[in-house]
Amino acid sequence: MKKNRMTSPVHITPSTSPSMKNKQRGAMLLDNMIAIGFVAVVLIGIVAAIPTISYKMNLVEFQKQEARIASETFNWKKRRSNYQGVSMTKLCDRQLLDESICGAAGDGKAANPFGGDWTVTGIAGHYEVTATLSNLDGETGRLFDVADSLAPSTRLQCASSDSCGSIRGAGTKTLTMVH
Q: What is the pLDDT of residues 11-66, one digit of tens each?
A: 655 555 555 555 565 667 778 888 899 899 988 988 888 888 888 899 999 999 99
Residue of higher predicted confidence among 5 and 151: 151
Above pLDDT 70, what percent of the chain? 83
* pLDDT confidence of residue 78: 85
- The answer to whether residue 94 sits within a structural domain is yes
Q: Mean pLDDT throughout 122-128? A: 88
- Alpha carbon distance 147, 167 (integer Å): 7
- The answer to whether residue 54 sits within a structural domain is no
Residue of higher predicted confidence among 138 and 119: 119
- The answer to whether residue 29 sits within a structural domain is no
- The answer to whether residue 31 sits within a structural domain is no
- The answer to whether residue 45 sits within a structural domain is no
Q: Which residues contact 62 (CB under 8 A, 6 or more apart)?
A: 112, 113, 114, 131, 146
* pLDDT confidence of residue 121: 92
- The answer to whether residue 36 sits within a structural domain is no
Domain range for residue 151?
63-178
- The answer to whether residue 26 sits within a structural domain is no
Above pLDDT 90, what percent of the chain? 30
| Domains of the chain: total | 1
- The answer to whether residue 50 sits within a structural domain is no
